[in-house]
Every structure is written in C-alpha cells, then in structure tokens.
Chains A and B, each alone.
Chain A
Amino acid sequence: MKLAMRFVGLLLALYFPASAYAQQDPVQQVGQVALQQRGQLAESALLDVGIAIFDDGVPSDVSTHRELGIYPKVREVESRYLPVTLRQTLVASNAWGVVRVLPEASSLSEVWIEVRILESSGLRLRLFVTARDATGRAWLERDYLDESAETDYPIAPGSEPFANLYHSIANDLLAIRESLAENQLRDIRRVAFLRYAASLSPEAFAGYLAEEAGQYSVQRLPAEGDDMIARVERIRNQEYLFVDNVDEQYISFKGEMAPAYDLWRQYDREQAIYRLEYQQRVANRDKQGRRGSFSAMQQTYNHYKVSKIQQQDIRDLALGFDNETAPTVLETSGKVFRLTGTLDSQYHEWQGILRQIFALETGLPVEE
C-alpha cells in the first residue's frame, strides 16, 4: 500500500508541473516585488518603449494542447491582454518616455520588448522576455515566473494577481537603463532615429550607421537644419499618430476583456487547486473492499469520474470565456479593419504610405 501511495505521489508530481505544490521549478519565482517608481526625470533620461503583442506560445501540434492545459482561444486573448498590463506597469513606474503596444517589432522604438507566453493559468504566469535597445544591445533575455496567492482573488478592479512579475520586469528594465551613461542613452536615441530614417530611405541614411552582428553605431550625424531630417521627423510623427491609435485600441480591448478574463483566472485557479487536493485525498484514502469487489471498483471509478468532471468544468469555463470574448475580439478587429486586413497588415500598409510620401517629397527611391 505504501509503495502504491508513493507511486501515486510520484505521478501527482509529474502530472502537476504547473503547481508549486508539486514541483521545484528550475526558474525562480519573482516573489514579492515593489514597483520602483521615479519622479520627474529629465527628457534626456527618457526612452520610448515598444511592446509587441505577445507570442501566444501555442504549440502547432494540436494534440499537445489538452495535455499542456492550453486553450488556444484564451491564449489568443492573453497575447493582446497581457502586453497592455506590462505597458501599464511601465507607465506607472514613471521612468520611461512613451510606452506603446504594437502588432509587431518596429524600428520606431528606442527600446523594444518581445514576450513569449510559456505558461498562463489562474495559478501561474511564466513569460520569456527579450528586450533590446535600438543599438542592438540586449537588455533582457530571461524567464519570469510568478504564482498567484489566494488573496489575489477575486481580482479587484484595476489589480493584477501577477503584479509582482510585471514589477520585476519593469524594475529590471529600469536597472539596465539606469546603468547606462548619458552618452549611451543619447546614442540609443540617435541610432533609433537613424534606423528609422534608413528604413524610409536606405540610400540616403545607410551611411550614417554602422552595423556589425546586429549591433548598430553612429558613424556620422546629419548636418544641423538638414531638410531631410525635418521630413523624417514629420513622417515619424505621422507614424506615431497611427501607432498611438493602435495602442489605444489594445488598451480598450483590455478594458472590455478584464471582467471575463479575471473571472476565468479565478475559476481556473480554484479548479486547479481543487483537482490537486482531490487527487492528494484519493492517494491517501483507504481502499474499500478487496480488489475486484464491487465496492473497490466503484470507488476507483468514482475517483476517476469526479476528476474527469472537474477537468471538463475547466474546458466548459474556457468555452464560456470564448463565447463571451469572441464577439469583442471580432469587434476589435473590426474597428481597425477600416484600413484593410489585420492590425499588422494595416500597420504595414500605413508604413508603406509614409515611405511613399517620403519618396515623393525627396525624390529618393522607396525601399521595397
């Protein structure tokens, strides 16, 4: 019996990789982290940050989804929802310039953040974060893991069960930015501008930059009062207008999703804990009757039945979440469909228009 219980215990540990109850994670949890905030910073210390919508981390092999506890529709929502939470955290730190959520990586930002969702449930959130500045310098490339507490639920409006994780990312970014000298910050801004200009017209601006193994440096600077620079600035401002609009839509999407998503996380956590505790109770329970007797078989069957019903409740919750969010997701896509296609294709289209305007004004060829 003891051996059997040990075996069940081992199985539990293998089956619940998502739970801190059963597994020692190779990745450290972020723990309690207070968000570091700054007062009024000089303009020269501020860098603009771009956050791409998150990679949903859904494996292409659909046969693995159920085993991994991944609900692709929920992840699809999360890939747009979670970046806005990170954005709001960075804004709250008061340590950055403009922070925007964008459909894809862009040369527009001075610091660029890309995130892959490794795990997301009501119980745990694990993200792989990559951050780089415009010069190509790597800022972050690491896993962040946080586990929610019972006191995090129900989620009060405006609060976040995994706030510590976002605080940790924001603090790490801030520490790196503060480790940079003023001239390094200035170089980042200059390189960002010149990379943007080169994306409009490589012919005119490629000579200002040197690139080696993904690292960019300023070779020379355009002359003061250069008309071309004024045009680039004007085009860039046009692009800012567009991306600010896109960013607004992601924020409004989060606002609309929050009640349903918060409930989903709360139920998901409750179900995960119930499942774990139930299986632990089963493992510790005495057998009824001898093996092969009706009472023993009924007990075995009922344990399985209860665990399956509970597992299916989670699926039904995910379906309920899909039913509720699907119209809004479509509506959000609909709003930005006014240009054409998806948000990233609209962005491409807009960038194309700006490049053509720039080419018309300067007489320089447009980069294809």
Chain B
Amino acid sequence: MRLCISKFTAAVFCTMLMQACSSEAPRPSGASAATAGVDFSGAWEVDYSQSDNIRDTYESIIRDLRRQAERRQRGANQGGGSMSAGGGAGGDIYALARMAEVITDIQLLDIDQNQQEISVKREGSFALMCEFHAGRLHTEETPLGKEVCGWDGHQLVFQIYLPDGLSIFHRMTLGPQGKRLNMATTVRSDQVTYPFTLDRVFNRYDPNNSGFRCKQTLTRGRVCTTEAPEQ
C-alpha cells in the first residue's frame, strides 16, 4: 500500500490543496433534545456488514485523488503551468485512515439521553457527552483538547479538537424506525488537506436479555438485580 501511495504523492498533494478549500468542518447548530426530536437512547452493537471497510474507503479516496491529480496534470500541461510537489501527503492519508480505524474500533454503544444531555458510552473508549442548551453549543475545554457538540438538524455532531492540528468529528444519525444508528467519523490533520471519513452502522440490541440489571454503587461496587425495573 505504501508503494502505491508514493507513486502519486505529488499529484495527490496538489489535488488535496484544491480539496481543502471545499471541505468544511461540520457546523452543528444549538438546539434542545426536544426540538431535535431524536432519541438515540439504548444499547447498540456494530454491524460490520453495513459499515465502511477501511481498506475500501482508503483505496476509494486514493483512486479519487489520483483521478483528480491526473486531470490537474493534464490541465497544467496544456496551460503550461507547473505542479508543486509535496512529500509524504499520501502517506499521511494512510496515517489518517489508521487513526480512523483506531478511533472507530468500537463494538458496543450504550446511550442515555434526556432533555438535558446525552451520554454515548463507547466500549473500550471514552464516552461522548453533550449537554443541550437552547440556542448554543456545548463546549468543554481541557489542556488536552476541546470538544464542541450540538444538534445539526436531526443529527448530533461532536467535534473534538486536539493539539498538533488533529481533529475528530462524529456525526450521529438515527435510521428509519430508530432501529439503526450511523456514526460517521471524520479525522483531520492540519498536515493533511484531505480528511478521512469512516461510517460505522450500529443495530439495536437488548442488553437485559441476560436477565440481570446492574447499577454502580460506591460502597458495594456494581450491584445487579433480576427484579424488573420500576415502572
């Protein structure tokens, strides 16, 4: 794969510069859960058959970039212009793809949502949390990064800005009848002008079919019961 990339490095870099102008970050609009009217609550498991395959996505991007670069090359030859060369850009897309794979390597989601907030617990990773404030986005900043989240129509968007120009956007969409959840994850780097997006599809499942319901307590740890939940 690396060999394949190196052949197109110069052309790809040039094309990416063009792409950068048109690729905008998602801009979530602030709204309350009620106005969005979308409820993601529940337990979800990944459906690999419906999700993007990282290799296919990567190769598709490379093919796309190659075609664009070739068109640019032809245009440059005809117009007498010159094409600037950039080292390692294709390799950096590969790095972004690998990062997307690391970030989206989530099998289960456990989502709690109410009028005020949503918590998207992701197995093996940190939870995405968002508070809904009418008319404004929820922002949280630490020395290690900044998160902005909110509704963009019926979609919930999380933007995570990390040091060294790395950013991660998650866009969550609920499918028909609320049976399917799509999480599109876009990874960007200020060193790579082309973002990498990977779609993961999740299906609902019932975590209680084991017959247990558990809750965390401080002095007794995790306490489980077989009793039915209070109505």
Contacts and interface: CB of A to CB of B under 8 A. Distances in A.
Interface string B147-169: 00000000000001011111010
A264 interface: yes
Interface string A8-33: 10011001000000000000000000
B164 A300 contact: yes
A293 B144 contact: no
A264 B217 CA distance: 10
A300 B95 contact: no
Interface string B89-117: 00010111011001100000000000010
B132 to A, nearest CB: 9
B193 to A, nearest CB: 11
Interface in A289-332: 291-294, 296-298, 300-301, 303-305, 307-309, 311-312, 316-317, 319-321, 323-324
A263 B219 contact: yes
Contact of A308 (B102, B126, B220): B126
Chain B interface category by residue count = 35 or more
B-side interface mostly:
mixed
Nearest to A259: B219
B92 A293 contact: yes
Contacts of A304: 126, 144-145, 160, 162
Contact of B95 (A283, A292, A309, A311): A292
Contacts of B125: 305, 309
Contact of B102 (A292, A301, A312, A323): A301
Contacts of B192: 292
A66 B138 CA distance: 11
Secondary structure class of chain A's binding surface, majority of residues? helix
Contacts of A67: 140
B220 to A, nearest CB: 8
Contacts of A3: none
A11 B143 CA distance: 5
A20 to B, nearest CB: 18
B164 A296 contact: yes
Contact of A305 (B92, B126, B141, B166): B126
Contacts of B138: 63
Interface string A253-287: 00000011001100100000000000100110001
A181 interface: no
Contact of A297 (B131, B140, B142, B189): B189
Contacts of A11: 143
Interface residues of A, number: 41
Contacts of B223: 323
B191 interface: yes
B189 A292 contact: yes
B164 A291 contact: yes
Contact of A264 (B145, B190, B218): B218
Contacts of A312: 126-127, 129
A320 B138 CA distance: 25
Contacts of A230: none
Contact of B216 (A8, A259, A291, A323): A323
B138 to A, nearest CB: 7
A316 B216 contact: yes
Interface in B60-88: none
B133 interface: yes
A311 B147 CA distance: 14
A269 B103 CA distance: 30
A292 B92 contact: yes
Contacts of A296: 164
A264 B133 CA distance: 29
A297 B99 contact: yes
A298 B218 contact: no
Contacts of B162: 300-301, 304
Contact of B140 (A8, A66, A293): A66
Could you say which of A67, A291, A292, A311 has the most chain B C-beta atoms within 10 Å of its C-beta? A292
A289 to B, nearest CB: 9
Given A292-B165, A292-B192, A323 B144 contact: no
A223 interface: no
A62 interface: yes
Interface in A4-60: 8, 11-12, 15
7 contacts: A267-B218, A291-B190, A297-B166, A300-B166, A312-B126, A316-B216, A317-B218
Given A292-B191, A301-B162, A323-B217, 4 more contacts: A15-B143, A292-B92, A297-B99, A319-B216
Nearest 4 A-B pairs (CB), nearest first? A292-B191, A308-B126, A11-B143, A294-B95
